[in-house]
């Protein structure tokens, strides 16, 4: 069992762009891990962690970004709710990975980290 409180303390030490970058990184990992059915526990953990990252971040973001993050959080919750069905079906698992990749790019763009470099 992860110590979510310790993770939260560490996560909140970063500025908003870095937090969004970490969320984008999680979503990219979801995409890559969906390619192998053996990674189910890892992806399930990344889904939960990503939901928490959004919870800890949205309140500090501009309203437009917060709204996008809430939409993503709903998507993550749906994936968790339908987890067994999605993970057993190769096509649905691939779609989850593709959507995770799309969200990763969107969140990275929202972070402004690419523009800063």
* 3-class DSSP state of 35: coil
CA distance 94 to 20: 24
**Mean pLDDT over all residues of the chain?**
94
Stated pTM of the model = 0.93
Span 67-110, pLDDT tens digits: 999 999 999 999 999 999 999 999 999 999 999 999 999 999 99
Provide mean pLDDT across the span 20-33.
97
Is the pLDDT confidence value at 64 over 90?
Answer: yes
CA distance 2 to 64: 31
Is the pLDDT confidence value at 117 over 90?
Answer: no
Structural domain spans, the chain: 4-110
CA distance 21 to 49: 14
Contact residues for 72 (Cβ-Cβ < 8 A; gap 6+): 50, 54, 103, 107
User: Which helix (DSSP H) or strand (DSSP E) does residue 47 occupy?
Assistant: helix 40-57
> Please, which pLDDT band fits residue 5 given cuts at 50, 70 and 90?
very high
């Amino acid at each position: 069992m992860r110590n979510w409180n310790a993770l939260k303390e560490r996560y909140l030490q970063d500025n908003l762009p870095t937090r969004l970058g970490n969320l984008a990184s999680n979503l990219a990992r979801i995409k890559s891990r969906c390619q192998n059915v053996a990674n189910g526990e890892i992806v399930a953990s990344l889904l939960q962690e990503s939901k928490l990252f959004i919870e800890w971040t949205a309140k500090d973001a501009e309203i437009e970004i917060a709204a996008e993050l809430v939409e993503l959080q709903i998507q993550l919750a749906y994936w968790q709710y339908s987890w067994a069905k999605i993970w057993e079906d190769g096509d649905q698992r691939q779609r989850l990975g593709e959507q995770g990749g799309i969200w990763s790019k969107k969140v990275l763009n929202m972070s402004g980290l690419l523009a800063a470099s």
